[in-house]
């Protein structure tokens, strides 16, 4: 095993929120330089580095790593492994266009992502397996080489599951609450610890609406709830996080403080940013978040709103070292959150208005 592989293994073993900023920079930079060097096998990444005049071995800092605009996953093949090594292909929901992002995973990347999710979720759930309630239908996790973002979420977060119960079913093209699944959930939750996962918009529009209409409830006082995605649709309906947590917790019978939103994306599976008790999203040891000025793309200081850039050392099969999103956010602080978690913490503020992926096509396209 190379020393860099050992460094990644160590990052995946330590508590995910234990690294201070000054310790993280050097450890992540060595791994990202290595990944960037390996990524030169991809003609588009090689073209980007060449046109920017960046040499992987001498990248001076994390903020200097060339970032791929997230929409490039829709337009370009960013694989950095041989086609025969791809064991799974993730496809995003394609909300901003009809074309989804395409993210190839090889065995090593899939393994790294699983270990990372285990580390993050373990910080909230402990190490014991639990019953997992999925607020979605079984079809989203159908076996196969290709997997949707919803399916990847279910599969990834099921690593602590003793048994998985899907609370919805598909009926005539719509999602409906499965009463038999609710009965099974009530039966198991009386003697087992439980955690819940679902996508924000589906929880609000399908699950909560139907449960309230029928007067159905669960009693899950110790449950931890993870949810993500779909906030844009809810903000169009003027739904805030407080209202969401209050409504869902009243139906599930759980503590509203344990309804935890997370920020993540298909292009960076494995690195998710979960709310702490204060509603702040924390960056784990094997990733980083940089906020960029929308106009200049320079790094923003604490407290200034900008575009969210997500960094990861998990990917070996595609360029995931630095991905510039089209979401807006603000870095709230570093190493000093009252919850006790170290590292950066931030807030997501929705889609950036008319976000531009500067230099996208020309920087990538090799002619």
Q: What's the pLDDT tens digit per position in 183-237?
A: 999 999 989 999 999 999 899 999 999 999 999 999 999 999 999 987 677 666 6
Q: Is 61 exposed, middle or buried (0-12, 13-18, 19+ CB in 10 A)?
A: exposed
pLDDT given for residue 4 in this prediction: 56
pLDDT at residue 298, as a whole number: 96
Predicted confidence at residue 229, as pLDDT, reads 82
User: For residue 6, what pLDDT is reported?
Assistant: 59
Q: What is the pLDDT of residue 97?
A: 53
Instruction: Check whether 242 has a pLDDT greater than 90.
Output: no
At 77-121, the pLDDT tens digits run: 999 999 999 999 998 865 545 688 999 999 999 999 999 999 999
Greater model confidence, 269 or 359: 269
In sequence order, the β-bridge partners of residue 195 are 132, 224
Residue indicated by tokens 């799974």: 88
In 71-167, where do the E strands start and end? Answer: 86-91, 102-106, 130-135, 146-148, 161-166
pTM over 0.85: yes
The residue that leads in pLDDT, 277 or 365, is 277
Say what the pLDDT of residue 92 is.
Answer: 81
Query: Do the bridges between strand 86-91 and strand 130-135 make them parallel or antiparallel, or are there none, so unpaired?
Result: unpaired
pLDDT surpasses 60 at 14: yes
What is the band of 2 on the pLDDT scale with cuts at 50, 70, 90?
very low
pLDDT at 256: 94
**What pLDDT digit, counting tens, does each position of 137-159 carry?**
998 887 767 778 788 889 889 99
State pLDDT tens for residues 36-66.
Answer: 999 999 999 999 999 999 999 999 999 999 9
Q: pLDDT value at position 204?
A: 92
Helix 3-13 crosses helix 107-125 at what angle (to 10 degrees)? 30
SS3 117: helix
CA gap 156, 199 in Å, rounded: 13
Q: Does the pLDDT at position 313 exceed 90? A: yes
Instruction: State residue 367's pLDDT score.
Output: 40
- What is the set of domains in the chain, with CATH numbers? 3-82+273-364 (2.30.38.10), 113-263 (3.40.50)
Contact between 247 and 208 under an 8 Å Cβ cutoff? The reply is yes
What is the pLDDT, as a whole number, of residue 176? 97
């Amino acid at each position: 095993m190379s020393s860099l592989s050992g460094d990644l293994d160590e990052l995946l073993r330590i508590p995910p929120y234990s690294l201070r900023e000054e310790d993280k920079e050097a450890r992540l930079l060595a791994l990202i330089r290595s990944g960037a060097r390996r990524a030169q096998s991809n003609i588009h990444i090689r073209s980007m580095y060449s046109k920017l005049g960046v040499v992987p071995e001498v990248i001076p800092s994390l903020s200097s790593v060339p970032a791929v605009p997230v929409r490039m996953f829709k337009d370009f093949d960013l694989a950095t492994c041989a086609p025969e090594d791809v064991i799974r292909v993730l496809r995003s929901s394609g909300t901003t266009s009809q074309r989804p992002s395409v993210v190839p995973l090889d065995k090593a990347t899939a393994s790294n992502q699983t270990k990372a999710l285990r580390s993050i979720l373990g910080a909230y759930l402990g190490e014991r397996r639990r019953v997992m309630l999925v607020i979605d239908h079984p079809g989203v996790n159908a076996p196969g080489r290709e997997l949707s973002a919803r399916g990847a979420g279910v599969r990834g977060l099921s690593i602590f599951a003793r048994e998985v119960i899907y609370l919805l079913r598909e009926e005539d093209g719509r999602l409906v609450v499965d009463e038999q699944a609710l009965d099974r959930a009530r039966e198991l939750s009386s003697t087992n610890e439980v955690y819940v996962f679902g996508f924000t918009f589906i929880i609000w529009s399908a699950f909560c609406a139907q449960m309230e209409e029928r007067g159905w409830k669960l009693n899950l006082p110790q449950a931890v709830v993870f949810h993500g995605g779909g906030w844009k649709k809810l903000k169009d309906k003027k739904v805030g996080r407080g209202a969401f947590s209050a409504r869902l917790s009243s139906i599930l019978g759980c503590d509203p403080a344990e309804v935890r939103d997370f920020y993540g994306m298909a292009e960076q599976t494995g690195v998710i940013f979960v709310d702490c008790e204060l509603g702040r999203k924390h960056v784990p040891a094997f990733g980083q978040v940089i906020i960029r000025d929308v106009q200049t793309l320079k790094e923003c200081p604490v407290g200034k709103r900008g575009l969210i850039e997500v960094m990861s050392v998990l990917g070996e099969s595609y360029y995931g070292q630095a991905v510039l999103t089209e979401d807006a956010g603000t870095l709230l602080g570093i190493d000093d959150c009252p919850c006790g978690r170290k590292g950066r913490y931030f807030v997501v503020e929705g889609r950036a208005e008319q976000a531009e992926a500067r230099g996208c096509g020309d920087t990538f396209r090799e002619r």
